[in-house]
Amino acid sequence: MKELLRGGNCSSRPRALLMSRAKNQIVFGKGRVRLRQFQQFLDFGERNRQFPPSPATDYLTMTFPVSPQDQAALRPASARSYLDFEKPVAELEAKVQELRSLAADGEGVQISDELFRLEGKSEKALADLYASLTPWQKTQVARHPQRPHFTDYVKGLITDFSPLSGDRQFGEDAALICGLGWFRGYAVCVMGQEKGTDTAARIKHNFGMARPEGYRKAVRVMQLAARFNLPVISLVDTPGAFPGVDAEERGQAEAIARATDASLSLGVPNIAAIVGEGGSGGAIAIATCNRVLMLEHAIYTVASPEASASILWRDAAKAEDAATTMKITAQDLYRFGIIDAIIAEPVGGAHRDPAAAIQAVGDAVQRALEGLLPLSHEEIRRSRADKFLAIGRTV
């Protein structure tokens, strides 16, 4: 088992490979785009998760306690990956695992007490750590490569999902996925950004950064939803709208403005759940909803911490300061009345138990939806507008 995992472990994937791929050029729409600038996206997982593994505790190549359900939910061949600040927990969990394998070798009786004690300690360390994450740590959790993405939510919550493609004007944008389906007995329209889980998928989905076509598709699908009286569920997870020549050329700003406009015109209820990063205009375009929910460790920003830092401090390295001063966490935003509810994540973040996180989002969305269904179309529209107009007036 140990050997097997070692072979397929993501930690053994050479970082150099990723870097060299990142330097290649690929074709993006009309323009030839170098991928170097996307390194942060390509390897944000690598960068965040790797701290030098010491020879004594080679936890990165060890197995970890996962339930069969978890195992199914986790992506293939990936052991648990740790963020920098999770190091103490990682060490504890590694020790637990060490003991567990010793116990399995037949020395169980003598060490079961110790194992029990350590397990408790490690669980507590994890819970304590996640109970008091700093805004910057939350930013890293929100971007965790194993955090469930749009596609995972659709798999877990929507039956008969039927994706709809294209804006009928220019093209299709895989960064923002729209579709129809059944959500717990309700026929709905679903939309959201998909970041992708491996390099190929990330490139295909443009790291969740939509172009004008994506937003125009969203407008088209919202109008479809309105005609067929389908509530709209938005799952927001984007670093922001794509900043590129082609996007500007085709009116990125106008597309976003029209999407916000369309969201505010809807007579059917719409509910947004910010499940990862809610980045700027790229997020608000589909997050102007009757109810805005947010996962416990998600972030919602006017500009990414990196962008804010380079604007305000003229230094992108101040991202950590920016994350703190900009008040981007669900807890702050709830206090400000920007979001309507916080959805609790499994202990240790959504990436530790994606299935549970997905169902928690489903429960919260269902509750919000059922509260809105009795309202008339006029009430839905008016209450949405009133809600946004009230934001900030009582701070």
Return residues touching another protein (CB under 8 A): 31-34, 36-37, 241, 243-245, 247-254, 256-258, 260-261, 263-265, 280-281, 284-285, 288, 300-303, 307-308, 311-313, 325-328, 333, 336, 338, 385, 388-389, 391-393, 395
Which tokens hold the place of 249? 């050329």
Taking the least distance from each CB to another protein, the nearer of 99 and 284 is 284
Which 3 state secondary structure label does DSSP give 173?
Answer: coil
Please report how close the Cβ of residue 74 comes to another protein at its closest, in angstroms: 32
Please report how close the Cβ of residue 89 comes to another protein at its closest, in angstroms: 30
Taking the least distance from each CB to another protein, the nearer of 6 and 220 is 220
Residues linked to residue 292 through DSSP beta bridges, in sequence order: 272
Bridge-based pairing state of the strands 186-193 and 25-28: unpaired
Question: Is the torsion defined by CA of 292, 295, 297, 299 positive or negative?
Answer: negative
> Dihedrals φ, ψ of 276, to 5°?
-140, -105
- How far, in Å, CA of 368 to CA of 387, rounded? 15
Taking the least distance from each CB to another protein, the nearer of 128 and 248 is 248
Please report how close the Cβ of residue 172 comes to another protein at its closest, in angstroms: 20
Taking the least distance from each CB to another protein, the nearer of 48 and 329 is 329
- How far, in Å, CA of 289 to CA of 30, rounded? 34
Taking the least distance from each CB to another protein, the nearer of 307 and 368 is 307
Which 3 state secondary structure label does DSSP give 141?
Answer: helix
Residues linked to residue 182 through DSSP beta bridges, in sequence order: 159, 187
In a 13 Å sphere around the CA of 371, the CA atoms on its Cβ side amount to 12
Please report how close the Cβ of residue 243 comes to another protein at its closest, in angstroms: 3
Cβ-Cβ contacts under 8 Å for 12 (sequence gap 6 or more):
6, 61
Please report how close the Cβ of residue 289 comes to another protein at its closest, in angstroms: 10
Taking the least distance from each CB to another protein, the nearer of 57 and 265 is 265
Please report how close the Cβ of residue 336 comes to another protein at its closest, in angstroms: 7
CA-CA-CA-CA dihedral for 118, 119, 123, 128, to nearest 10: -10
